[in-house]
Amino acid sequence: MSMLTNFIIASAVYLAILIFLVRRTRIKEKTTSNYLLGGGNIGFVIGLFTTAATLFSAFTVVGMPDFFRTHGVGAWIFLAVSDTMMVYGLIRVGEVLRRKARNLDFKGMSGLMASTYQSKLAGYVTFGGAVIFLIPYIAVQISGISIFLNAAFPEALPVWAWSLGIVAVMVVYSETGGLRAIMYNDTLQGILLFFTIWVVGYNCIAHFGSVESMFAEVKVLNEKLLSVPGPKGLFTAQFFIISAIAIICLPFTQPQISTRVVIMKNSASLKKMAVGLGVVAILVILPTLFMGMYGAILYPDSSTQDFIGHVLLYDQAPAIATLGLIGLVAAAISTSDSQIFALGSELRSLLNLEDAKSIKITRFFIVVFGLLALIFSIVSTEHLVLLARTSFTGTAIMAPMILTGILSSKKLTSLMPLVTLGGLLFFILSKLSVMPTQFFGIQSELILFATLITASLVEVFILGARRAE
Neighbours of 432 (CB within 10 A): 12
Which residues fall within 8 angstroms of residue 87, CB to CB, at 6 or more apart? 274, 275, 277, 278
pLDDT at residue number 355: 62
DSSP bridge pairs for 42: 264
Q: For position 469, what pLDDT does the model report?
A: 53
Residues 86 and 247: beta-carbon distance below 8 Å:
yes
Backbone angles phi, psi at 295, to 5 degrees: -70, -35
Determine the pLDDT at residue 233: 84
Please, what is the Cα angle at 103 between 99 and 109, to 5 degrees? 75
Q: What confidence score (pLDDT) does residue 39 get?
A: 55
Please tell me the predicted confidence (pLDDT) of residue 468: 52
Mean pLDDT (10-residue bins), the chain, 469 residues: 79 82 62 58 83 82 86 80 87 90 83 91 94 88 84 84 89 76 80 88 94 93 88 85 88 90 89 91 90 94 87 88 84 84 86 70 86 85 63 91 90 90 94 86 91 90 62
Please, are residues 269 and 111 in contact by the beta-carbon 8 Å criterion? no
Q: Phi and psi at residue 438, in whole multiples of 5°?
A: -155, 155
Q: Give pLDDT tens digits for 104-153.
A: 778 889 999 999 998 899 999 999 999 999 998 888 888 888 888 888 88
Instruction: Report, in angstroms and rounded to the nearest whole number, the Rg of the chain calculated over CA atoms.
Output: 22
Determine the straight-line distance between the first and last CA of the chain, rounded to whole angstroms: 78
Tell me the domain boundaries of the chain.
3-382, 397-469
* 3-382: CATH architecture: Up-down Bundle (1.20)
Q: What is the largest CA-CA distance in the chain?
A: 78
Long-range CB contacts for residues 315-321, cutoff 8 Å, separation at least 24: 315/203, 315/207, 316/200, 316/203, 318/1, 318/3, 318/6, 319/6, 320/199, 320/200, 320/203, 321/3, 321/6
Q: What would the pLDDT profile of 52-87 be if each residue is shown by its tens digit?
A: 888 887 778 888 888 899 888 887 777 778 888 889
Q: What pLDDT, on the 0 to 100 scale, is given for residue 383?
A: 59
pLDDT given at position 455: 92
- Residue 338's pLDDT is 85
